[in-house]
Structure 1
């Protein structure tokens, strides 16, 4: 009997090895990633997919910025929805089987403290003069070492609103692509209506939430390294193999995982296992087959 698996594909699965994101680069990258996924499906596992969308949203933002004097820039939630559909279509073409894409919304709290101090950088670097122009359009920009970059809030995901639709498709035997880029961020206004918000939701935290919602037994975070590492960048660095959630929490509390890279992945696998998942794995895309069986990557269990 296969298992119900949710795989979160990192940005490396959606672009060329050098990070380029031309249409042909993205198509070839997705086709390569889907060969690994197809092997899992052929082995009898029921797979649900989610993915990053950073380079794709970055491209849309650049188009917005270049054309800002001609047409109004579209909001960030629209960019998220567009990239979910685009990447989803590439995945469907590569799988060629019983598959479906759900444009998925993720609920956040408009009062989340992240909205008061937006720190998530998105898009490319610009000059101070260019940044000032976009600030006049209501955007928030900050100076970094390489120039000015737009920053937005990254609030905590509260609910995957379209998870029931995803679950229905999974139960019907579909390989479903959902919650790409963490989901389209939405909040309820004062009248209780759902509205899009300018935010980026961490895709790994959303993946853990979606995995529980669709009753996955295994969560795989596919990234560009084979395992999480203790003491990364030091002479004492060592890879983490099989580990309990409690042991990994101790390492997390000791500050071993950087907030902008491995940190969210570690938090995601911890939440999934602590909330009832059988096991979660952080590993490279090439090793996801072995990872599902607990034979590769950082394997987190109870």
Structure 2
């Protein structure tokens, strides 16, 4: 099988952990060990990943400079693709005993300049704050903020991914049995100008939506959306919370889930399942069991 495994940013950097290279490497090593099991089982693998905490940190660092010296979000997205891709690439090579070629591909993703998301930011980036601190930072920097669980975070525009112009390069790598890390952080958001040229835009694309588009375009058999919870729950966070084993795309879309966390995963899983693929959501450590259908939540066109 050709498997696209999308690793959530919070799985790479646990809530409350310091935004240090050491903390991220330790989590990436755990992720690589779990993903290596998919390769050892004989499957071909494409890895995507989130970048919310990391791109937000780089934006904070950029705020120390003059406004015209700070890098825009598309450039910061490219930086995080290289940074996180490097860590995953190295740790996965180590986990597999350097028996498989692994490569990181910086990936552009085309969006629409008129996407309504630019007027209604929803994508969480950066560290978590108390409400008081988040409001103070938002006032000083002109941010938009929103509640994320018990905390508050900056939110930025998250337009719908439309096209991945780098698919040709990805296919060349897959033809050579290379494990590819790509579309990191949802990919680098770009616009196509009337003359056909591309230019970056200030946004952070949802990683799960971009992963579903990638999986469909590349002809993947399965899409794994790996996070820090073991399944999709009905009534999550209450005494009546119940894990859901299997869902149809319509059932998944009908669930009332947070827009900044499980909601996008269910939409992405449903979009890919509508095309006949197997979508599944669950805990990163359970990646192989999720693929086998013995863990997590599956979204299937026909149950």
Alignment of 1:201-240 (within 5 A): 201-240=205-244
What's the Cα RMSD here?
A: 2.3
In 2, the alpha carbon distance for the partners of 1:80 and 1:60 equals 9
Q: TM-score, length-normalised on structure 1?
A: 0.88
Q: What is the deviation of 1:22?
A: 0.6
Following superposition, the deviation at residue 148 of structure 1 comes to: 9.1
Question: Which stretch shows the higher mean deviation, 19-28 or 267-276?
Answer: 19-28
8 Å Cα contact 1:131/1:149 also seen in 2: no
The SS at the match of 2:159 is coil
Residues 71-92 of structure 1 deviation map (CA, whole Å, 9 limit, x = unaligned):
7100100000011011111111
The 3-state SS of whatever aligns with 1:280 is: strand
Correspondence for 2:144:
142
TM-score (norm 2): 0.87
Alignment partner for residue 69 of structure 2, among 37, 62, 72? Answer: 72
Q: State the partner residue of 1:258.
A: 258
Residues 238 and 110 of structure 1, relative CA distance in 2, 3 Å threshold: same
Indicate the larger mover: 145-154 or 160-169. Answer: 145-154
Q: Is the 8 A contact 1:12 1:19 kept in 2?
A: no
Q: Tell which deviates more after alignment, 149-158 or 52-61.
A: 149-158
Q: 1:93 aligns with which of 85, 90, 95?
A: 90
* CA–CA separation in structure 2 for the residues paired with 1:119 and 1:227: 23
Instruction: Tell me, yes or no, if the aligned pair for 1:154 and 1:199 is still in contact at 8 Å.
Output: yes
Q: Deviations over 1:27-81 (max 9, x none)?
A: 1111111011112111111111000011111111111012337x71001000000
State the Cα distance separating 1:21 from its structure 2 match. Answer: 2.4
For structure 1, which segment, 188-197 or 164-173, has the greater mean C-alpha deviation from structure 2 after superposition?
A: 188-197
Q: Which structure 2 residue ranges, 5 or more long, are not aligned?
A: 94-99
Higher mean Cα deviation, 286-295 or 187-196? 187-196
| Per-residue deviation, 1:131 | 4.5
Paired residue for 2:296?
A: 297
Which stretch of structure 1 is more off in the superposition, 209-218 or 147-156? 147-156
Alignment of 1:69-218 (within 5 A): 72-96=69-93, 97-123=100-126, 131=138, 134-135=141-142, 141-142=143-144, 150-218=154-222
Distance 1:229 1:195, change over 3 A: same
